[in-house]
Structure formats: C-alpha cells, structure tokens
C-alpha cells in the first residue's frame, strides 16, 4: 500500500500535520542557526548620528532669507520685478510634488 493512497480522512490529516511539523522544524533550525552568527550585525548608530547632525545643521538655516527678501522688495518698488507665468507654474507644481512625497 502506498502512503499517498490513504483513503481515511483522519490518516490524511495526520500525514499533513506531520509534513507541516517537519517543515516547521526545518525553518526553526535555520532561524536558530542564523541568529547565532555574530558576524551578521547591523550598526545603525552611525546613520542615526548622521541624520541627527543633518537635522541640527538644517535647523541653523533661517526660514526667511532676509537678503533675498530685500532684493525682491527693491525690484518691486522700482517696477523691475518680472516673473513669467511659466516660472510661477513650475514652482507651484514643484511645491505640490514635494508636499505629496514629504
């Protein structure tokens, strides 16, 4: 009699359970041996330090660039400030994309 030709439902369930246990035991063995390897470590502290330093540097940059504001104000007062509609549209679309992905 071939084992795969068992007609009894209980016997089939038992066989399936045993197959699952064998697969599960193999996975547990692999997971256990992977956890023992000390050479497989990840050090995120360097990246975390870099990110923290970047945040500090960004916080030092002023929100408003006064020299740029004064320059544009002077151009507006003289009537020489001219921005094309295409430039405005490009900035608006660019800001919208940044807002979507931020």
- Residue 42 covered by a domain: no
Residue from 73, 69, 91 nearest 81 by CA: 73
Query: Are 31 and 66 in a shared domain?
Result: no
Give the model's pLDDT for residue 73: 94
Q: Is residue 43 one of the residues assigned to a domain?
A: no
Q: What is the DSSP letter of 61?
A: S
Distance CA 44, CA 51 (A): 11
* Domain-embedded: residue 51: no
Do the domain assignments include residue 56? no
Contact call for residues 30 and 39 (beta carbons, < 8 A): no
Structural domain contains residue 24: yes
pLDDT at 31 over 60: no
75 assigned to some structural domain: yes
Instruction: State the pTM of this model.
Output: 0.34
Count up the domains in the chain and report the number: 2
Q: Which domain holds residue 27?
A: 3-36
Asked if residue 30 and residue 66 are part of one domain, the reply reads: no
DSSP tag of 4: G
């Amino acid at each position: 009699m071939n084992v795969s030709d068992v007609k009894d439902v209980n016997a089939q369930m038992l066989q399936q359970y045993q197959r699952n246990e064998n697969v599960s035991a193999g996975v547990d063995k692999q997971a256990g041996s992977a956890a023992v390897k000390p050479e497989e470590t990840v050090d995120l502290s360097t990246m975390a330090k870099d990110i923290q330093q970047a945040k500090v540097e960004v916080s030092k940059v002023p929100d408003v660039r006064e020299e740029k504001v004064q320059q544009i104000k002077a151009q507006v007062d003289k009537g020489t400030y001219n921005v094309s509609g295409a430039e405005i549209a490009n900035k608006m679309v660019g800001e919208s994309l940044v807002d979507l992905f931020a």
